[in-house]
Amino acid sequence: MGATPLKGLTGQRFFQPETQITISISKMAEVSKDNVTLVLVNAEDEGQRLDNYLLRICKGVPKSHVYRIIRSGEVRLNGKRVAASDRVKDGDVLRIPPIRVAQKQEEIVAGAEIKADLPILYEDEAILAIDKPAGIAVHGGSGVSFGVIEALRRQRPQARFLELAHRLDRETSGLLLLGKKRSALSALHDMFREGSGQGRGVDKRYLLLVCGRWMDPLRNVRLPLCKYLLESGERRVRVASDAGDGKPSHTIFRLLARWEHFSLLEAELRTGRTHQIRVHCAHLGFPIAGDEKYGDFALNRMLPKEGLKRMFLHAWKMKLSHPLSGAEMALQAPLPEALHRFLKILSSKETLEYGQTQTF
């Protein structure tokens, strides 16, 4: 797990009988409400942010609770107060207060097992690439008790290290990379930040079906994006009215096929902003079919009857240098069968005006 409990220590006196040890770090979700835990940080975890380190070892504990105990000073690093952004080092001693988990760990595990069908596309000693199904979050939180990372950790209890290298929206399917070593994860994070088409950046391609007749074979879209909150508190993204108010965002769209009322596109992400493809398409008047946040809501209500019961957005291809060896890699997640079927239904009902429906 990358953390070692200090035997004989409860956090109240430094030399107490070993019989007073009540938990192990591998079962942090079962922490007693009456005991403090001291954790010895290992070399494998050196350099990790404190909040991320705690969220990993305190499985099942809500993020809000983890941040609260940091802010309140209940979490101590080498006996001192600590900030969420501080980095842990090999040999650090971390004090974790008693933690009560509202949701039973058994429920989280049961959910993870139900959703644990995660096809592996590539794996070696440093990285893991899976084909994420639509409808599964990449991690728990915001009302979701489990996600891909929790399911994988449940499947691989022997794994010393397993972390997400990037994110996919819950409604999006396709290629998802994880790091199995901290050095590999750090290199992957650098590559994703660098973006496509620049040095050692990652070339990410998506397949999407938009509503409307897209005419340009190739189109560069550079529209700055900014985040905002609805009255409900839910996060949304929009194109910034002033370029200075948003983050630069660049998507390259290529037309693959066009019917009378829909178009199939490839999207290349040059930047990786939240909901970037979805918001760019919606702003241009071509919302993604089935997009419940930015889509054509009236059309979305009709699509399930026609055979499309999810958002048509799939993380299709990825080219990158291996984070440790530097070897060039090309990964691909085939288009899900449900999306294939809808394209066949569409071709049977509408005239194909441009391109072809090839095997993806």
pLDDT tens digits in sequence order for the chain, 360 residues long? 455 544 444 333 333 333 333 333 433 334 445 678 888 888 778 888 898 888 877 766 778 888 889 999 999 999 899 999 899 988 888 888 887 655 444 444 444 454 456 889 999 999 999 999 998 888 876 555 678 888 888 788 888 899 999 999 999 999 999 999 999 999 999 998 876 666 568 999 999 999 999 999 999 999 999 999 888 778 899 999 886 789 999 999 999 999 999 999 999 999 989 999 999 999 999 999 999 999 999 999 999 999 999 999 999 999 999 999 999 999 999 999 999 999 999 999 999 999 987 756
Q: Give the whole-angstrom CA distance, residue 77 versus residue 336.
A: 46
User: Residue 236 corresponds to which tokens in the numbers above?
Assistant: 């949304």
Q: Give the whole-angstrom CA distance, residue 260 versus residue 351.
A: 6
Instruction: Classify domain 109-355 at the CATH class level.
Output: alpha beta
The domain 3-96 is placed in CATH, from the list 3.40.50.1820, 3.30.930.10, 3.10.290.10, 3.40.50.1370, at: 3.10.290.10
Residue with tokens 């893991």: 128
Q: Give the whole-angstrom CA distance, residue 51 versus residue 248.
A: 28
Positive/negative CA dihedral, 32, 34, 40, 41: positive
Active site residue 169: yes
Contacts of 174 (CB under 8 A, 6+ apart): 131, 132, 168, 206, 314, 315, 316, 333
For the chain, the domains span 3-96, 109-355
Query: Which among 50, 322, 344 has a CA at the least distance from the CA of 183?
Result: 322
Q: Which of 45, 51, 131, 169 is catalytic?
A: 169
**Coarse DSSP helix, strand, coil percentages of the chain, rounded to the nearest 5 percent:** 25, 25, 45
